[in-house]
Amino acid sequence: MNIILLGPPGAGKGTQAARLVEKRNMVQLSTGDMLRAARTSGTEMGNMVAAVMDRGDLVTDEIVIGLIREQLESDQGKGGYIFDGFPRTLAQADALGNLLVEMGENLDAVIELQVDDDVLVERIVGRAKEAEAAGQPVRADDNEESLRVRLMAYYKQTSPLIGYYHAKGDLQSVDGLASMDDVATSIASALRKSE
């Protein structure tokens, strides 16, 4: 089955995707991870991507759709994808729909993780502090200034996808404020309904 995890930065998409990979043997496709890999390439494109990401803005649809297309083409046949942090715009959602049709695959569910903003700020600033304390690299966009831009990008460009997928009958919302285990349980029961 192929699913999308939808939600603002800090909602827990990456954490829950990692659990689904472990439990269901699915393939996680995170455009954020792909872009973090691309930015270290030292190319002009990589540098441009780095500047946009650090500011907290969205990278162009063209770049992101290209990355997803490449992954889907190289992985073809595996199936069982978790789209994490993609799509983030209506154009990306349309492109994903078309790519899946081309591959003869379905989109089985879109899981929205609902969380409120105060918690997001706490989680993200906390994530940066924890990484720092553990001597791990801190994401350049995990600071309050970039986070404000990331949240605005979510509300302006990504949240319309909630209506889009609701209208298609694909949307299921879960409480992202619950504990990690409880969120995982809610996702599992949402997925059972789509199987």
Catalytic residues: 13, 88, 127, 139, 150
| Binding status of residue 72 toward ligand AMP by CB under 6 A | no
Q: Which stretch binds ligand AMP (CB under 6 A): 81-89, 107-115, 120-128, 181-189?
A: 81-89
Comparison of 47 and 193: residue with beta carbon closer to ligand AMP: 47
Give the shortest CB-64-to-ligand AMP separation in angstroms: 4
| Binding status of residue 88 toward ligand AMP by CB under 6 A | yes
CB neighbour list of residue 187: distance below 8 Å, 6 or more residues apart? 16, 20, 111, 174
Comparison of 60 and 114: residue with beta carbon closer to ligand AMP: 60
Asked whether the beta carbons of 5 and 16 are under 8 A apart, the reply is yes
| Binding status of residue 8 toward ligand AMP by CB under 6 A | no
Count of residues making up the chain: 195
Among 9, 17, 95, 187, binds ligand AMP (CB under 6 A): 9
| Binding status of residue 85 toward ligand AMP by CB under 6 A | yes
Give the shortest CB-128-to-ligand AMP separation in angstroms: 13
From edge to edge, which strands make up the β-sheet containing 27-30?
A: 27-30, 81-84, 3-6, 109-114, 171-175
- Round to whole Å and give the CA distance between 151 and 8: 7
Query: Rule CB under 6 A: which of 28-57 touch ligand AMP?
Result: 31-32, 35, 52-53, 56-57
Query: Rule CB under 6 A: which of 109-148 touch ligand AMP?
Result: 141
Torsion angles phi and psi, residue 5, rounded to 5: -105, 120
Interface contacts to ligand AMP, rule CB under 6 A: 9, 31-32, 35, 52-53, 56-59, 64, 85-86, 88, 92, 141, 150
